[in-house]
């Protein structure tokens, strides 16, 4: 039996339909590839596609990030974009296929470096079956700078708080010309004793004080350490030519000073702060 014209026409129609379907599929595929390239180009993060560690595709953001012209990254070894100290961790993630994010120092064309967050993922290319790795890199220079500024600001706050605490722990008050008062409250440890000494000496020099009143009425515990601290402060102030008036001495403090055999020569003691101030002002007015 021969082939009829109708059969040939039907076969041709089927072939034309198949060709149209293939053309539509190819058009859709091309449109998808175009859209994918547009998406890659629009992303701010640098993205490269690697085959056995070699860059086979890179988006414009990656080129800008590393300071290369478009497509200049193609053919480069990805490890060459990392600083020597970061190549080991980058290599470990590449060979293991790890998808974990890590931080690395990356290298620009001009030799400058920048910190980045790097993350990769393995995939198999459809059609060709090639094992590829997509790697993204995000420049975190601004974040690092912000973190450094935040840490510096926190340190400034801490320093200011410590300075305020030091002032509160050893306040120095000028109460008249050439007379300063330091009221001590709470407990006195070695660190605070040193602060008392420094603040008192600085204040005496700054205000040119001839009299320094130390009030220990509010000191909770009076032991050998406190007594030694007061004696040392008194001796240091005397070396500057300043008279020391000690107020608020109770029975426990008196016993401690006696047991220590403290040299109180040149130190004036008063039973209360009010009396010490009145006596000091009276002496000043009589001069």
Residue 21 in any domain: the answer is no
Output the domain CATH number for residue 191.
3.30.750.24
Are 104 and 189 in a shared domain? Answer: no
The answer to whether 148 and 182 have CB atoms below 8 angstroms apart is no
In this prediction the pTM is 0.49
pLDDT reading at 107 higher than 80 = yes
In a domain, 126, yes or no: yes
The Cα 105–Cα 118 span in angstroms is: 10
Q: Nearest Cα to 192, choosing from 231, 165, 212?
A: 165
How many distinct structural domains can be found in the chain? 2
Q: Do 140 and 170 lie in a common domain? A: no
Q: For residue 114, is it left (φ>0), alpha (ψ between -120 and 50) or beta?
A: beta
Q: Do both 119 and 78 map to the same domain?
A: yes
Domain boundary among 144, 173, 198: 144
Annotate 100-131 with b (16+ C-beta within 10 A) or e (fewer).
Answer: eeeebebbeeeeeebbbebbbeeeeeeeeeee
Q: By the 8 A CB rule, do 74 and 62 touch?
A: no
Domain that residue 174 falls in:
162-286
Q: Are 273 and 217 in contact (CB under 8 A)?
A: yes
Q: Are residues 133 and 246 in the same domain?
A: no
Please tell me the predicted confidence (pLDDT) of residue 216: 85
**Does the pLDDT value for residue 37 go beyond 60?**
no
Contacts with 214 (C-beta within 8 Å, 6 or more apart), sequence order: 182, 184, 200, 230, 233, 234, 244, 245, 246, 247
Residue 9 lies in a domain: no
178 and 241 fall within a common domain: yes
Residue 56, in any domain of the structure:
yes
The answer to the question of residue 31 being in a domain is no
- Rounded distance, CA 20 to CA 137, Å? 42
CATH number at residue 43: 3.30.450.20
Same domain, yes or no, for 180 and 274?
yes
What is the rounded CA–CA span in Å between residue 211 and residue 178?
7
N residues, the chain: 287
Q: Summarize pLDDT for 117-175 with one digit per residue, the tens.
A: 999 999 988 777 889 999 999 999 999 999 999 999 888 887 776 666 555 556 888 88
pLDDT tens digits for 248-268?
887 877 787 778 776 666 678
Q: What is the C-alpha separation between 112 and 67, in angstroms, rounded? A: 10
**pLDDT at 287 > cutoff 60:** no
Residue where one domain finishes, among candidates 116, 144, 172: 144
- The more confident residue out of 97 and 169 is 97
Verify that 44 and 120 share a domain, yes or no.
yes
Residues 175 and 278 in one domain: yes
Residues 64, 91 share a domain: yes
Is pLDDT above 60 for 32? no
Whether 221 and 266 share a structural domain: yes
80 in any annotated domain: yes
Per-residue pLDDT, 121:
94
* 191 inside domain: yes
280 and 183 within one domain: yes
Query: Are 98 and 214 in the same domain?
Result: no
Q: Which residues pair with 135 in a beta bridge?
A: 48, 120
Domain presence at residue 23:
no
pLDDT at 33 over 60: no
Q: What is the DSSP string of 119-170?
A: EEEEEE-TTT--EEEEEEEEE-HHHHHHHHHHHHHHHHHHHHHHHHHHHHHS
For residue 120, the model assigns a pLDDT of: 95
Q: Edge-to-edge, what's the strand order for the sheet holding 173-176?
A: 173-176, 179-186, 211-219, 243-247, 267-270
């Amino acid at each position: 039996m021969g082939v009829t014209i109708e059969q040939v026409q039907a076969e041709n129609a089927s072939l034309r339909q198949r060709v149209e379907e293939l053309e539509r599929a190819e058009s859709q595929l091309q449109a998808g590839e175009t859209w994918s390239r547009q998406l890659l180009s629009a992303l701010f993060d640098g993205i490269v596609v690697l085959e056995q560690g070699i860059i086979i595709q890179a988006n414009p953001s990656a080129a800008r990030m590393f300071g290369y012209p478009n497509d200049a990254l193609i053919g480069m070894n990805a490890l060459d974009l990392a600083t020597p100290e970061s190549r080991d961790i980058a290599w470990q993630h590449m060979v293991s296929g790890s998808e974990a994010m890590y931080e690395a120092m990356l290298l620009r064309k001009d030799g400058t470096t920048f910190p980045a967050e790097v993350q990769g993922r393995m995939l198999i290319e459809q059609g060709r079956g090639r094992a590829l790795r997509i790697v993204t890199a995000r420049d975190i220079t601004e974040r690092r700078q912000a973190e450094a500024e935040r840490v510096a600001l926190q340190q400034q706050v801490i320093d200011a708080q410590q300075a305020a605490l030091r002032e509160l722990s050893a306040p120095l008050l000028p109460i008249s010309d050439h007379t300063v008062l330091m009221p001590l409250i709470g407990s006195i440890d070695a660190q605070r004793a040193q602060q008392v000494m420094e603040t008192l000496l600085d204040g005496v020099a700054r205000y040119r004080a001839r009299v320094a009143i130390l009030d220990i009425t509010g000191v909770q515990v009076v032991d050998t350490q406190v007594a030694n601290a007061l004696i040392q402060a008194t001796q240091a102030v005397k070396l500057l030519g300043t008279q020391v008036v000690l107020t608020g001495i109770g029975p426990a403090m008196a016993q401690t000073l006696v047991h220590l055999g403290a040299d109180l020569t040149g130190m004036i003691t008063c039973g209360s702060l009010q009396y010490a101030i009145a006596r000091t002002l009276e002496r000043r007015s009589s001069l």
